[in-house]
Amino acid sequence: ITTIRISMIVNARLAAADPGAAENAYCRAAEIAPADASAFFSRLAGALLRAGHSEKAQAAIDRCLALTPDEPLYLMDLGNILICRGKPDAAADAYARAASLNPAAAGGAWYRLGTLLTKEGLHPPATEAFAEAVAAEPGNTRYLLGLAASYAARGLTDLAGETLRRMESENGRVDQQ
């Protein structure tokens, strides 16, 4: 049985409002291909989350992380689920761990968290996440724009303006090179 076929079966089960059967399909796949078990549980978590089963999604990603505890992508998946479950502080902890495991991609992880928190209307923690992204990659225009927009969403126009001026200054230095 192929991974694609298993994914199709799981999606069909979830569409039919049968998360138990979807979970059984991925558990069976993990038995057949134990080396890929983490990936199967991660996919199950994502499918369950999209179907609105955030508690079951967390159980699936917890199983995934029990097998592969130091995979940044799985930790970010956990963070996404925790945001949906109304636990932004725990989500930030999961993202912080992911960022620490892959410092070269830390800015991207923090930016992703900031974007998700912004979509949920959680502006103060989003600002913190964008600030971490900027700290990881100070000259990244996208991260600076995210931080400026986050400040603006909170009515912190002075900080938003300061961040935009910093971005213009960074871009000016790049243009002069």
- pLDDT tens profile 92-107: 999 999 999 999 999 9
Q: What is the spatial distance between Cα 97 and Cα 72, in angstroms, rounded to a whole number?
A: 7
pTM: 0.84
What does the buried/exposed string (b/e) look like for 9-42 if buried means 16 or more CB atoms within 10 Å of the residue's CB? Answer: bbbebbeeeebeebbebbbebbeeeeeebbbbbb
Q: Which amino acid is at 118?
A: T
Residue 150 has a pLDDT of: 97
At residue 127 the predicted structure's pLDDT band, cuts being 50, 70 and 90, is very high
State yes or no: pLDDT of 126 exceeds 90.
yes
pLDDT of res. 146: 97
Q: In degrees rounded to 5, what are phi and psi of residue 71?
A: -100, 110
Contact 160, 140 (CB under 8 A): no
- Res. 40 pLDDT band, cuts 50 70 90: confident
pLDDT 10s digits, 45-81: 998 998 899 999 999 999 999 999 999 999 999 999 9
How many Cβ atoms sit within 10 Å of the Cβ of residue 68? Answer: 15
Counting residues of the chain whose pLDDT is more than 70, the rounded percentage is 86
The dihedral over CA atoms of 112, 164, 166, 98, expressed in degrees to the nearest 10, equals: -10
Per-residue pLDDT at 82 exceeds 80: yes
